[in-house]
Chains A and B, each alone.
Chain A
Amino acid sequence: MTAMLSPAPTAPAPRRPARRPLARALLSDWFVLWLSLAYFVVLLPFLPTLGTPANLVNLLSNAWPLLVVALGQTFVMTIGGIDLSQGAVIGLTSTVAAALIATAGAPEVLSKAPIWGLLIGETGGVLAGRIWFGILAMLIAGALVGLVNGALVAWLEMPPFMVTLVSLITVSAFAIWLTQSENIRNLPDGFVALGKGEIVSVYFGPKDTSQIPRRQVHDLVTYAAIIAVALAVALHWLLERTAFGRQVTAVGANRKASEIAGVPVRRVIVLVFVLSALCATVGSILYSARLEAGRPTLGEGTFLLDVIGATVIGGTSLFGGKGKVIWTVFGVMFFVLLSNTLNLMNLSTFHIDMVKGGVILAAALLDVARTRLLRSMA
């Protein structure tokens, strides 16, 4: 009888042609790039500073460290998780590296810190000036946090949100305890160059005088850019061209089905969380270097909003199973552009954060719309 009450089956109505380009645009890998370009072009007449070389260089220099961290978040979100501990990893690794490689320590600031006399003294850290050992220590510390996160999620099947929230709290507190909330200065020049050093600088304009003002010389290619681009390329290859990458997507799409298909789900989850923590560590190198200090509070505040926001805006799905490095690259570019333009509009911090929150919400809604669209087209 039920069948009789149901409407008679009809052939699916042909899609309206006008919707097809829209659907194609929404599902395109390049959607956020076009959106960014359109946003840039529309605002350019109203914000002339936006297109100046100095501002474009600022946009890029702000994007590199954020991109590095967001790449790790992309992998975690692709398996259907979230990593709230990235900011804490940044604070911890920044502190550890600075304590080890600083070339001098200030007793009036650090003498009450537990690491004083153990890792750092007046003559500097125990690895003073040995940058690569410091970076190695950072990577180990970061990887350990990721390993614990991944193990708890994979083997105890705890929700990633809860595991990484606990990590966020405990790791942050540990980093602050290490220095009693103090910052560590006197980082080696070689380390600082990783965040601030330029390889190619450019000047646009006529050469009227023998000396070009420093303000008009712009850092185009920096060490931070090289590191971020190299990492993005490597992770793109990992996600798109390897069996591991396909396993990451499969776990996010359907964990049970992946297990049945023989995917080593637990190992994939652990590796993804380790990868996320390692990306946060590389981000920590760039942020610590550009600020020229180890900071236990680095990565606190609204930083996580920026990371998750950029990743979601790029198109990586909050539901897992969908994520691409190129999307995150575009998402970071859009997010940095958005922050920059809001600054140029002289809006207050509170308004800027409100707009950012609204844009992230819009991106999340877009993700829902895209998922529905894909299902309806399947």
Chain B
Amino acid sequence: MTGRSTFLSALGAATVAVAMGTGAQAATICFAFQDLETEFWVAGHKAITTTLADAGHTVIERNANEDANRQLEQVNDCIAQGVDGIIIIPQDGESAVTIVQTAQDNDVPIAVFNRPPSDTSKGIVVVADNATIAEQAVDFVAQKAMEEITDRPIQPLIIVGDLGDPNAVGRKDGFYAALAKYGDKFAEPIEVASEWDAATALANLEAALTANPNVDMIFTSSDFLFPTIRSVLEPRGMWKPRGEDGHVLLAGLDGDATACKLIKDGLVDATGVQDLYFEAQSAMDAILASIDAGEAQPNQVIEDPGFALTADNLGEREMDMWGCVLLSEGFLNN
């Protein structure tokens, strides 16, 4: 069975739900995304476009190639084309506010998928509870660190995302909230900026580990940076599985297939999981319901509570994580 066909089968239930839940009216939906640079966005894009198309809706795709102005122009083009609704993955929280306002000014319902606007009071906003999810993942590795290191303060490091993205802010807050519970058992965290860019993260992490070689635990604000972390840790002898000397405790957030594999291999200890399918489904359900109801300016926040997949609960919750589902279907082999 090919990866595509198995992926479609995984989405089968969701497809039926969209088709049944929103009546028979076929709609034209503009799906404007900023780029597809991570597994999360690729899987989210596939979930949304495939499900909508299978349910008989027309999907107009627009890729802004990480250019906020281009995305605004593309959304305006979509509005001119007379689309019934818009689903957007914005470049950042600020441009999202402007684009949501533009759509609502033109009476086109709009849903923002996963990357919320700085002001969440307008539009349908589907967002993970980043702070809580991050806190759960970091809490797990913090406790493991305290079990292993008792004679000195533990040195944590956080790879921060683009702080113009509220997701990155929430994840950073969750990281600090987890450590705050344990007071002076942890040294002042080292912050490494990534700007959601692997090359930037690589350069900054190299510099940070050269200056501070005794890092005990690392939290990356997105799983897509695990390969980058590996390329920095491996030459330093710090990329070791659990139980071996030199293992650095690692946690991330997203729940992608790479993270799933690394947890199974013992190289990563935990990751916060955003429920990709729940978020995609919620965005589609909400936008189609608004179109059916003739509601032009729907305002709603749909929160994905998420959870943390850890080395300890891997056996029980593995298949609740979208990345593990994709991994089991051979996603990383394709």
Contacts and interface: CB of A to CB of B under 8 A. Distances in A.
Interface stretch (B67-75, B150-158, B324-332): B67-75
B94 A290 contact: no
**Chain B contact residues: over half helix, strand or loop, or mixed?**
mixed
B96 to A, nearest CB: 11
B72 A290 contact: yes
A61 interface: yes
Contacts of A182: 162-164
Contacts of A292: 94, 97-98
Interface in A95-141: 106, 108-109
Given A346-B61, A348-B63, A340 B77 contact: yes
B120 interface: no
A342 to B, nearest CB: 10
A283 B243 CA distance: 58
A181 interface: yes
Given A49-B82, A54-B80, A183-B164, A215 B108 contact: yes
Interface string A190-222: 000000000000000000000001110000000
Interface stretch (A16-24, A228-236, A260-268, A298-306): A298-306
B68 A291 contact: yes
B73 A181 contact: no
B108 A346 contact: no
Contacts of A349: 62-65
A343 B64 contact: no
A344 interface: yes
Contact of A49 (B66, B74, B81, B94): B81
Interface in B143-195: 162-164, 169, 193, 195
A295 B118 contact: no
B38 interface: no
Nearest to A65: B69
Contacts of B162: 181-182
Contacts of A343: 62, 74, 77
A55 B118 contact: no
B80 A58 contact: yes
A72 B110 CA distance: 37
A292 B66 CA distance: 17
Interface string A156-178: 00000000000000000000000
Contact of A301 (B67, B106, B163, B193): B67
A62 B71 CA distance: 12
B195 A302 contact: no
A109 B107 contact: no
Contact of A293 (B94, B107, B169): B94
B169 A108 contact: yes
A291 B107 contact: no
Contacts of B265: none
B65 A302 contact: yes
B89 to A, nearest CB: 14
B94 A185 contact: yes
B69 A290 contact: yes
A215 B163 contact: no
B94 A180 contact: no
A302 B94 CA distance: 21
A287 interface: yes
Contacts of B97: 185, 292
B92 interface: yes
**Chain A contact residues: over half helix, strand or loop, or mixed?**
helix
A287 B69 contact: yes
A215 B78 CA distance: 12
Among B69, B70, B82, B169, residue most surrounded by chain A Cβ atoms (within 10 Å): B69
Contacts of A213: 107
Interface in B216-253: none
Contacts of A290: 69, 72, 98
B107 A214 contact: yes
A214 B92 CA distance: 26
A301 B79 contact: no
B106 A215 contact: yes
Among A300, A303, A346, residue most surrounded by chain B Cβ atoms (within 10 Å): A346
B201 to A, nearest CB: 13
Contacts of A55: 77, 80-81
B95 interface: yes
Contacts of B98: 290-293
Among B80, B81, B106, residue most surrounded by chain A Cβ atoms (within 10 Å): B80
Contacts of B92: 183
Interface string A4-20: 00000000000000000
B49 to A, nearest CB: 12
Interface string A272-304: 000000000000000100111101001011110
A344 B77 contact: yes
A109 B73 contact: no
Contacts of B64: 349
Given A293-B94, A349-B64, A214 B80 contact: no
A344 B79 CA distance: 11
B193 A180 contact: yes
Contacts of B63: 348-350
Interface string B111-144: 0000000100000000000000000000000000
Interface string A312-351: 0000000000000000000000000001100110101110
Contacts of A108: 163, 169
Nearest to A182: B164
A348 B106 CA distance: 25
A324 B77 CA distance: 30
B60 interface: yes
B94 A58 contact: no
Contact of A346 (B60, B68, B72): B60
Contacts of A28: none
B112 to A, nearest CB: 16
The 7 A-B pairs of least Cβ separation, nearest first, read: A54-B80, A349-B63, A55-B80, A293-B94, A215-B106, A183-B94, A349-B65
Given A61-B76, A303-B69, A343-B74, 7 more contacts: A49-B80, A181-B195, A214-B107, A291-B94, A293-B94, A301-B70, A348-B61
18 contacts: A62-B73, A109-B169, A181-B162, A181-B164, A213-B107, A214-B106, A215-B106, A291-B69, A291-B94, A293-B98, A295-B94, A301-B66, A303-B67, A340-B77, A346-B61, A348-B61, A348-B63, A353-B65
Interface of B: 60-70, 72-74, 76-77, 79-82, 92, 94-95, 97-98, 105-108, 118, 162-164, 169, 193, 195
